[in-house]
Amino acid sequence: MPHLLQALQARLPGLLADLEELVRAESPTADRAASAHCAGAVAALGARLTGAEPERLTEGGSVQLRWRFGAGDRVLLLGHCDTVWPLDSLATHPFTVGHGRVTGPGCFDMKAGLVQMFHALAVLDSLDGVTVLVTTDEEIGSPDSRDLIEAEARRVRAALVLEGSGPGGALKTARKGVSTYDLRVVGRAAHAGLDPHLGINTTVELAHQVLAIAGLADPGLGTTVTPTVMASGTTRNTVPDAGDLQVDVRVATLAEQDRVDAAMRTLRPVTPGARLELAGGPNRPPMQDSSSAELFARAARLHADLGLGTLAGVAVGGGSDGNLTAGVGTPTLDGLGAVGGGAHADDEHVSVEHLPQRAALLAELVRKLLTPGSKD
C-alpha cells in the first residue's frame, strides 16, 4: 500500500472526529453568524493540521478563509463550508456513523471534502505553492466570493475543487453553466366580476411567458430552461396586477448561454398594456471537459497506482465554484471530495471507507502538481 494511503488510513478516527465537529457547526448560507461560526471551526481545523493560520477575508459581508503556502501560485484547493440546511436540522438529521456511512446535514456537500483536504495536506512534506480558499456563500451562487475565487484561480496552474463526487465516486470533469432570471409582469387591477375588462391580467400574461420561456430549451444540446417559482394575484375576485416568475437555465456551452440570454432579453408582452421587467442573467459559465482533461488523466493514473482501481469521470448539471475557476481559463478538476450522495436531501451521506482513500488521492495529486517536471 503506498505510504500516503497508509498514513491516511491510520487517520480515519481523526477524519471522523473532525467531520463530526464541522457537521455540528451548522452553517446555512443566509445565517451570517452561523456560517461565520463554522468558518471559525474550519480555520481551527486547518491551523491544527497545517500549522498555519488563515487570513480571514470579508467580502460583501461573508467570511472567506485563505491559506497561502509560499507563493501559493501553483495549486488552488477550493471548497465551501456553507450548506442549504437550516439551523436545528441536526434535530431531525443527526450526525451518525454506522453501517459504513456518515450522515448529517452538509456532510457530503461538502464538509467531508474540507476534512479530507486538510488531512491530505497534513501528510505532505511541503505545501510550498499551495493556496487554500474556503468560502461561505457558494450555495447561493458565490455573490460575495466570486471575484476572490477568480483572482486566486488566475494566480495558479491548476484548481482542485473539493465538492462531493459523482455517482460511484466519479470525478466531475464537466459542469453545465448556470443562468438565473427573475421576470416581473406589471398589469392593472380590476374587479373580476364588475370590471374584468378594465384590468390587465398578469396571470394570463405569465402563462404566455412561461410557454415562450420553456420553448427556449434545446434537449439535443443539453440546454434546459425551466420556469420554477411563480406567483400572481392577491384575491380570487381581483384581476391580478403583478406577477413574478423565476427561471433556471443550465447549458453545456457558452454559445448556448449567450443564445438563451439574448432570447430572454427579447421577451415581449402578449397581453395589451402589460409590462415586463427582467432581472438576472448568467451566473456561472460552463466548465467544459477540456478544462479537466489533463488533470483527470493524471488523477486516474494516481488512483490506479494507489491500488484503488479505475476512476470514472462524469459531466453533471449542477454548478459549483469550479465553473468560475474554469471560466477564467484555469485547468480545473472537481468532485475530489467525499464519496457518497444525497446532497441537499434527507439521505445525504458519506462513505466511511472512502474518506482516507480520497484524501490520499488528493495528497498524491497535490504532491505531483508541486513537483517540477512531474508527468504522473
Global pTM reads 0.92
pLDDT of residue 208: 98
Rounded-to-integer distance, Cα 170 and Cα 311, Å: 6
* Confidence at residue 372, expressed as pLDDT on a 0 to 100 scale: 79
In this structure, are 43 and 183 located in the same domain?
Answer: no
Q: Domain end: 229, 264, 284, which one?
A: 284
CA distance 305 to 1: 9
Does 167 lie in the same domain as 272?
Answer: no
Given pLDDT bands bounded at 50, 70 and 90, which one contains residue 342? very high
Same domain as 224, residue 88: no
> Does residue 343 lie in a domain region?
yes
Residue 356 included in any domain: yes
**Residue 376 covered by a domain:** no
pLDDT in tens, 36-64: 999 999 999 999 999 999 999 997 889 99
Same-domain status, 149 and 199: no
Give the pLDDT score at 114: 98
User: Are both 280 and 311 inside the same structural domain?
Assistant: no
Structure confidence by residue, pLDDT tens digits, 245-295: 999 999 999 999 999 999 999 999 999 999 999 999 999 999 999 999 999
Same domain, 47 and 114: yes
139 and 193 assigned to the same domain = no
Given a cut of 70, is residue 1 above it in pLDDT? no
- CATH no. for residue 266? 3.30.70.360
Q: How confident is the model at residue 139 (pLDDT cuts 50, 70, 90)?
A: very high
Average per-residue pLDDT in the chain? 97
Q: Give a yes or no: residue 143 inside a domain.
A: yes
Cell of 132: 487554500
266 and 298 in a single domain? The answer is no
Question: What's the total number of domains in the chain?
Answer: 2
Instruction: Let me know whether 312 and 269 are in one domain.
Output: no
The CATH number covering residue 312 comes to 3.40.630.10
CA dihedral 278, 283, 286, 292 (to 10 degrees): 180
Alpha-carbon span 107 to 16, nearest angstrom = 11
pLDDT digits (tens, 9 = 90+) for 234-248: 999 999 999 999 999
- Residue that is last in its domain, among 226, 259, 284: 284
Contact 132, 81 (CB under 8 A): no
- Quickly tell me which residue has 500549522 as its cell: 51
Mark which of 284, 313, 340 sits at the end of a domain: 284
Do 14 and 137 have their domain in common?
yes
> 169 and 294 in one domain?
yes
Are residues 21 and 142 both part of a single domain?
yes
Please state, in angstroms and rounded to a whole number, the distance separating the CA atoms of residues 337 and 311: 14
Q: What is the pLDDT of residue 375?
A: 64
Q: What is the rounded average pLDDT of the residues 69-73? A: 97
Confidence grade of residue 2 (pLDDT, cut at 50, 70, 90): confident
- Residue ranges of alpha helices (H) inside the chain are 3-10, 12-24, 32-50, 112-122, 146-155, 202-214, 254-264, 289-305, 321-327, 354-370
For residue 241, give the C-alpha cell. Answer: 396586477
> What's the domain range around 244?
177-284
Residue 101: is its pLDDT beyond 70?
Answer: yes
- Let me know if residue 161 belongs to a domain: yes
Considering the domain boundaries, does residue 375 fall inside one?
no
SS3 267: coil
Cell of 327: 471560466
Position 129 in a domain? yes
Does residue 105 fall inside a structural domain? yes
